[in-house]
Amino acid sequence: MTTTSASTASAGVFDDITSSESSLRRFLHGLPGVDQVGADARAAALGTRSIKTTAKAFAIDLAIRMVDLTTLEGQDTPGKVRALASKAMRPDPADPTCPAAAAVCVYPDMVATAKQTLGDSGVNVAAVATAFPSGRAALDIKLADTRDAVEAGADEIDMVIDRGAFLAGRYQQVYDEIVAVREACGSAHLKVIFETGELQTYDNVRRASWLAMMAGGHFIKTSTGKVQPAATLPVTMIMLEAVRDFREMTGQMVGVKPAGGIRASKDAIKYLVMVNEVAGADWLDPDWFRFGASTLLNDLLMQRTKMQTGRYSGPDYFTLD
């Protein structure tokens, strides 16, 4: 992620909007509606693009570079995290041309371990903070969680919004929390997780996107991976439309991260097509688009090998970490 961080995006542009609960509500509810059926149809149509040969090779390498290799389990141990970090740096030990993943994504207590392995490899450490995954804790605890992770060396913080507050219409509270966490991040980049499976409607996803962008999130992210459905093509499309429109309005780019449920190369390529055609080619970069995934990486590697050798590979030829 590039580090030319500026002050919060909302500086100036959104002051009127974010100054009160009522103005925030008026703005968010004044955003154009999303027709679910039309959005689903458009996402499905983009999914029919046929990406072959050179385009496929390009897409697979790009997708590998966009992976936030993730482990977020109660059973995570330093051993597990070290293995994952090694995998992120050298996804295919047999092939030095294979690019590294973007980051490893872990709980805050595993940040130091991950950082130790990754060193200055260029692979970032992302930490899920703010009482992940439910977000149900007092603000000071969320902020402490964030600071801990940053102090341990996290380059990126994946926070969750308070869905309860959002669904109850307390947008100001959600906004203020994001602003506060962003401040606690210091120089670390902030990804704001909506848990779109709980927000349910695309209208809500669009509102949450704008709320997070105005509050200064560097990335907007679909899901924790703990709630079904996690990332979907249409939800990601709504978010890509939001970052596209936000840039139209402010000139500033925000990244998008679908997370959870993306397991196959074929699916990852559909996302990249969508990035390309909805937000635009500028977002086809690990600085601006990530996949939160674990098993996806091996499938990308298998496809990569297939493209190089012309024969189908098998899981035994790739590391399980």
Partner 1 sequence: MVKVPDTATPFFEYAPAPESRSIVDIKPSYGLFVDGEFVDGHGRSFKTISPSTEEVLAEVAEADEADVDLAVKAARRAYTRVWSRMPGSERAKYLFRIARIIQERGRELAVLESIDNGKPIKESRDVDVPTVAAHFFYYAGWADKLDHAGLGADPRPHGVAGQVIPWNFPLLMLAWKVAPALAAGNTVVLKPAETTPLTALLFAEICQQADLPPGVVNIVTGAGATGQAIVAHPDVDKVAFTGSTEVGKAIARTVAGTRKKVTLELGGKAANIVFDDAPVDQAVEGIVNGIFFNQGHVCCAGSRLLVQENVADEVLERLKRRMSTLRMGDPLDKNTDIGAINSGEQLKRIRELSEVGDAEGAERWEVACDLPTKGFWFPPTIFTGVSQAHRIAREEIFGPVLSVLTFRTPHEAVEKANNTPYGLSAGVWSDKGSRILWMANHLRAGVVWANTFNKFDPTSPFGGYKESGYGREGGLPGLAAYLKGADA
Partner 2 sequence: MARIDVKKTYKLYIGGQFPRSESGRSYVVNDAKGALQANASQASRKDARDAVVAARKAFGGWSGRTAYNRGQVVYRIAEVLEGRRDQFVAELRASEGVAGAKANAAVDAAIDRLVWYAGWADKITQVVGTANPVAGPYFNISSPEPTGVVAVVAPRSPLLGLVSVVAPVITTGNTCVVIASEPHPLTAITLGEVMATSDLPGGVVNVLTGSVAEIAPWLASHMDVNGLDLTGVEDADLATSLEVAAADNLKRVRRAPAAEPDWLAVPGTDRMTDWLETKTVWHPIGI
**Binding piece for partner 1, criterion CB under 8 A, among 15-23, 47-55, 142-150, 297-305:** 47-55
- Exactly one of 221, 267, 299, 321 is catalytic; name it: 221
Single out the residue of 15, 16, 22, 35 in contact with partner 1 (rule: CB under 8 A): 35
Single out the residue of 9, 28, 64, 129 in contact with partner 1 (rule: CB under 8 A): 9
Whether 306 is a known active-site residue: answer: no
Whether 266 is a known active-site residue: answer: no
Cα gap 10→215, rounded to integer Å: 6
Whether 80 is a known active-site residue: answer: no
Pairing of strands 103-106, 67-70: parallel
Beta pairing partners, 259: 292
Among positions 265-294, residues that touch partner 1 (CB under 8 A) are 272-273, 276-277, 281-282, 284-285, 287
Pairing of strands 255-257, 103-106: unpaired
| Nearest-approach distance from CB 150 to partner 1, in angstroms | 18
159 or 253: whose CB is closer to partner 1? Answer: 253
- Exactly one of 203, 257, 267, 299 is catalytic; name it: 257
Cα gap 293→68, rounded to integer Å: 6
Among positions 237-266, residues that touch partner 1 (CB under 8 A) are 241, 247, 251-254
Q: Which of 314, 275, 278 is nearest to 298 (CA)?
A: 314
- Exactly one of 68, 92, 155, 158 is catalytic; name it: 158
* Residues sharing a CB contact under 8 Å with residue 29, sequence separation 6 or more, in sequence order: 207
Burial class of residue 78 in the structure, from the number of CB atoms within 10 Å of its CB (0-12 exposed, 13-18 middle, 19+ buried)? middle
User: What one-letter code names the amino acid at 24?
Assistant: L
Cα gap 66→219, rounded to integer Å: 13
Binding site for partner 1 (CB under 8 A): 2, 4-6, 8-9, 32-35, 37-39, 41-42, 48-56, 58-59, 62, 216, 218, 241, 247, 251-254, 272-273, 276-277, 281-282, 284-285, 287
The residues that are catalytic are: 158, 221, 257
